[in-house]
Structure 1
Amino acid sequence: MSAGISFVGAGPGATDLITVRGARRIGEADVVLWSPSIIDAGWVRENTKPGAELIDLARHGDDEVVEVYRRAVRDKLAVVRLFAGDPATWGGLRAQLDICARIGLPADVVAGVSPLSAAAVSAGVALVEPDYADSVIMAGQEAVGMPDLAQIKEYAQFGTTMAVLLPAARAAELADALRAGGYDDATPVLAAYKVSWPDEIVARTTIGELVATVKQHKLWRHTLFLIGGAVRAGRARSVSGETTRRPENAARWSRTRSRSSWRAEVKRPVAAPEKPEAEPEPPQQRVTVVAEPTRKPVPAKTAAAASTPAKSVTAQAKKTSAKTTAAKKQPAKTTAKKTTRAQPQRARRSS
């Protein structure tokens, strides 16, 4: 690894979900900026090279981090800064890249596995399904702070899958914002805490039961909430004794919500139930009616009228065959005449 900085996505937390490229950059770095809340400290120590400097971001401010960047330029150091999940979903990435460009530090980004994807596959669901959600709206990041609940209310009007990262202690405020945006209490919700960690919690609930579920599992730190019809099915693998049920009106809710979205304009003509009634239009009886007269050539008059062109063809064939037969018999006739003429001559000589 040459001198510069790599912003590496550490994935949702499990060490085996770091990409091969990210692990290689960590092993080659002279300085690693990280936080124990991002990835296991023991793994970082075991996979960095001897003599590498480890800096805990939780104990250093932004100004101190910039000084590390400047030292990397001066001493030509290879630096890695770890981010939870995927750096592309972190709102502060652009500011970090601008700082590096300003001080002359070469920088690149290594993608990682997003906690959003990890939570969905942990519960066995898809974030996008044609009948329930055609898009995903993300709101809130741990490094940026609390998402704007007024914006969440506006996003809820689209009736699609939403991913909100915020402290679970504010679950009641989140539920109120979702209701105000048009979601009903039966809307499915997936609460995912520390996905892929040994102590992960993935709990299935609804907006109406969200507060009670958070209290039941004693969640209060940052938790990822997936909301919408697309997360209606599946089973949480880490919560024992929890029943996975699909709200009865989840499908009805999603169709009702889609009426106010742009998809409704595309769906209405397609969902019209008039096409099945129009399907019997191609009458196959025409083929049967036309075929029946050809199958009934029994009457003689009809057969004679229908066979007129066949007769002319047959007559011509007969004439042709008669001529051919006559031509073949012609030599036999001449032979016979010669024989009859020769007999009287022989009779005269004998007398």
Structure 2
Amino acid sequence: MVHFVGAGPGDPDLITVKGRRLLEGAQTVIYAGSLVNPALLELCPEDCRIYDSARMTLEEVIQVMEERHEAGQDVVRLHTGDPSLYGAIREQMDRLDELSIPYEVCPGVSSFSGAAAALGLEYTLPGISQSVVITRMEGRTPVPEREKIQSFAAHQSTMVLFLSTGLLEQLSEALIEGGYPPDTPAAIVYKATWPDEKKILCQVSELAEAARREDIRKTALIIVGRVLSGEAYQRSCLYDPAFTTEFRKGKGRDEDGK
């Protein structure tokens, strides 16, 4: 069995209980060495075989999985954050399907959750934004035309951008061209939940300058939207004493909220 495990955003305490248990019993671990906190490897048994996938191709990763499977061993494939976001796990699963090697996924805490926690931020505020766009700038890996930053920016909802720290000048231009006003609040969160975490608040037009000032070149998330502004939002109906739910009767209004 191959276990795809989300390592969490950086703080080793943020791995799931199941993920920790899998590491503690691991016979082989292939981890994303460029991003996963190496402190998590201390959970592995002394005789565990450990491979750093930052120095491996997909073919080499699959070869290790196949060899360990033939030897009757489980493999933990340790990805940063949650493996479903920019984890490149589908291509691994397809190869494992071809080889009839079983696998399962243990989800993890994504860095976009870690960034919100660092900022004390709620991405979805009634009356401000009820949608979150998780995307990335186009770099060496293209994105579909319909998913260009300008298209998403037209909605002016909350946007979280991965893998875009090295393209902040182009990002600002695309966000403004798409519809965000230049003074839209933005944040750069470097290494969310790590000991050297940094949080920089700025405006969309200032993203590149803010990153240069703090010498941030990679391993950061960009958050854009009015949820960062501190402006007044609507109270949640769910906890409004006048709002009737399945579990309690509202007081002061009828069923239609009047």
Band the TM-score falls in, shorter-chain normalisation: 0.7 to 0.9
CA contact (8 A) 1:167 1:222 kept: no
Q: How does 1:265-276 map to 2 (within 5 A)?
A: none
Counterpart of 2:56 in structure 1 is 60
Counterpart of 1:221 in structure 2 is 218
Give the C-alpha shift of residue 87 in structure 1.
1.2
How many residues are aligned here? 231
> What is the CA–CA distance in structure 1 between the aligned matches of 2:118 and 2:152, rounded to whole Å?
25
CA 1:182–1:168: 2 relative to 1, 3 Å? same
Q: Give a deviation string over 1:328-348, Cα, whole Å, max 9, x none.
A: xxxxxxxxxxxxxxxxxxxxx
> How does the TM-score come out when normalised to structure 2?
0.83
| Alignment gaps of 5+ in structure 2 | 234-258
Q: Percent identity?
A: 31
CA 1:210–1:148: 2 relative to 1, 3 Å? farther
Are positions 1:77 and 2:73 aligned together?
yes
The one of the two structures with greater contact order (alpha-carbon pairs below 8 A, sep at least 6) is 2
**SS state of the match for residue 127, structure 2?**
coil
CA contact (8 A) 2:36 2:79 kept: no
Counterpart of 1:121 in structure 2 is 117
Aligned match for 2:174, one of 171, 174, 177: 177
CA 1:166–1:42: 2 relative to 1, 3 Å? closer
AA at the equivalent of 2:134: M
CA 1:185–1:148: 2 relative to 1, 3 Å? farther
Counterpart of 2:90 in structure 1 is 94
Q: How does 1:202-281 map to 2 (within 5 A)?
A: 202-233=199-230
CA contact (8 A) 2:12 2:39 kept: no
Give the C-alpha shift of residue 134 in structure 1.
0.9
Aligned match for 2:183, one of 165, 183, 186: 186
Give the C-alpha shift of residue 145 in structure 1.
4.6
| Alignment gaps of 5+ in structure 1 | 234-245, 255-351
- How big is the alpha-carbon RMSD for the aligned residues of Structure 1 and Structure 2? 2.2
Larger Rg: 1
AA at the equivalent of 2:86: W
Indicate the larger mover: 46-55 or 82-91. 82-91
CA contact (8 A) 2:30 2:76 kept: yes
Structure 1 stretches of 4+ moved >3 Å: 144-150
CA contact (8 A) 2:131 2:157 kept: yes
Give the C-alpha shift of residue 140 in structure 1.
2.6
Give the C-alpha shift of residue 208 in structure 1.
1.9
> What is the CA–CA distance in structure 1 between the aligned matches of 2:175 and 2:40, rounded to whole Å?
39
> How does the TM-score come out when normalised to structure 1?
0.62
